Structure 1
Amino acid sequence: MSAKVSTSFKKRFELNEENIRRIHSDIRKRTPDDNHHNIIFEVFREDSLVFRTSEVDRLLSESNDSTQKIKELNIEYQDDNLNILLEFDAEKGAELTINGEDRDQVFLISSDLKEYIQKEVCHINSGVQDKRLIIVPIAICAALLVLLAQTINPIQESINIEQAMSSSDTNLKLNYLISLTEKKNTADHKGQLLSLVPFLLMLFIFIPAQKIYNYFSPGNIFLIGKQISIVSQRRSFVRSFFWGGLVALIIAFGSGYYFLWLSK
């Protein structure tokens, strides 16, 4: 009885030499020795070159630099009774499709490959895929701006215009003019803060959030050749940037509260 299994992996992949050799080995174990040459690696590069090879070492010898970067890798096996297709795409992610005449063999191979790929290969969170998630940061920023605007208390007028005009006291008139200026400045500050809400809305809609997330948290990557050092350096930079920014933020808040306390 024939069977077919198709699986799309939700998380992003990180495919390195160890993973490729392990997947190749697992397929070899479940297929006849005479057909091992039917395990084919099909490579698609950024420079539009496409090549096919049955040799793992040929694939791993790729420079995989910025001009010859691998963007897709298909691992295929085909004989009269079994078809295996494992696709790794830098944009779409990973997908496994197996169909064959022997139902038990199909489910056995599928179980082995699926379990290993989920645990060791596709383990990076997917990031910002749903545009509806933008509502969350927008709501938080808008709430903070409104709260900040509310903390700016309007200046209470203790002197009305009739008192100021009828009084012969120069200090009273000056105080009235100062209160008017402060009230205007307070209203201007509130308006500026609240005007940032639509700006943030436009920013979150048009900002390439997924590309930024992918830069700081690389996924769907082929850790072969030069990409090993490139990704390692990027992750090191992100860790330094995060901890440096966190420390700077703590110092800034601490200093702000300290000087605020001194001014009281």
Structure 2
Amino acid sequence: MAGQRTAARAAACAAVVVLTVTTGVTARADDGFESLPAQRIADRSRDALLDARSVRLRAHGDLGKGQEALTADLALDREGNCAGSVRLGGDKGSVKIVKRGGTVWVKPDADFWKNQVPVGGSTFGAILAGRYLKGAASDARLRPVVDACDLNTFRQLVSDNADTAGGTLTKGAVTTVDGVRTVPVTRRAHGQELTAYVDTGGRHHPVRLTVRGDGADAAVDFSGFDRPVPSATPAAKDTVDVSALLGRTPAPS
């Protein structure tokens, strides 16, 4: 379904912000983190993100160029487990997502069906009646959700795009973000300003990433590093099998 691509756009939004700020050749230092050059701070932040076993990301805003604004709140790990939600701007709808092992559940609301699946969406929504759509993670019709809810997919996007960012990278003054002491590093390129706020302590994870300019205004907040993804799954009475709703012919991959 076309609407399922929303989750993938949410992950892509986060990945674009990360990879365009935190690319470069890895360099390490044992102490004096705040005094390191901007590139080394960015490198260590990227490495810490790539090393994480799990993370919670909250993305909001848009990347400009006509893309829809959205809000996403997803906890995801390397095993492909995921839990959270994605909401489009205005009244365009939202979808809850749960993925556990080889099974995925999605729960679009009425506005989502109406706006993202204009042909037949309202009928699908009526049949579901507030229940989750359940399917196998291998089902091509659910592939966008599955890909978005896998930390390995996110990590690969960041890793594959290393060393490709242009522009200049500069370091700002130490500041506090959500109670965390951070050093901001900013990359300016192609009319945009991308900033990573990097935790000065611990593993030096990114705390917040922002992109501004050229019509873009988006941010991604990171938390919950290495914490388990919530394991609760919808009850059988609250689900409808994807094949029962959409038919048994898989969509093209």
**Is the TM-score greater than 0.5?**
no
Per the shorter chain, which TM-score range? under 0.3
More helix by share: 1
TM-score, scaled relative to structure 1: 0.22
